[in-house]
Amino acid sequence: MVDNYFRRRGLELAKHQLKGSEGYGWWLTEGSAKVYVFIQDSPNGSVLRITSPLVHLPEQNKEGMYRKMLDLNANLSSCALATHDNIVLVVAQRPTLGLVQEELDELVWNVAYVADLLDNKLADEFKCKMYAEDASPSKA
User: pLDDT 10s per residue in the chain (140 long)?
Assistant: 999 999 999 999 999 999 988 779 999 998 888 999 999 999 999 999 999 999 999 999 999 999 999 999 999 999 999 999 999 999 999 999 999 999 999 999 999 999 999 999 999 999 999 997 444 444 44
DSSP-assigned beta bridge partners for residue 36: 27, 51
Give the pLDDT score at 31: 83
Tell me the domain boundaries of the chain: 2-133
Spatial distance between the Cα atoms of 121 and 104, rounded to a whole number of angstroms:
26
Give the pLDDT score at 20: 86
Q: What is the 3-state secondary structure (H, E, C) of 13-61?
A: HHHHECCCCCCCEEEEEECCEEEEEEEECCCCCCEEEEEEEEEECCCCC
**C-beta of residue 103 within 8 angstroms of C-beta of residue 97:** no
Give the pLDDT score at 139: 46
For the segment(s) 2-133, the CATH number from 3.90.550.10, 3.30.70.1520, 3.40.50.720, 3.30.1460.10 is 3.30.1460.10
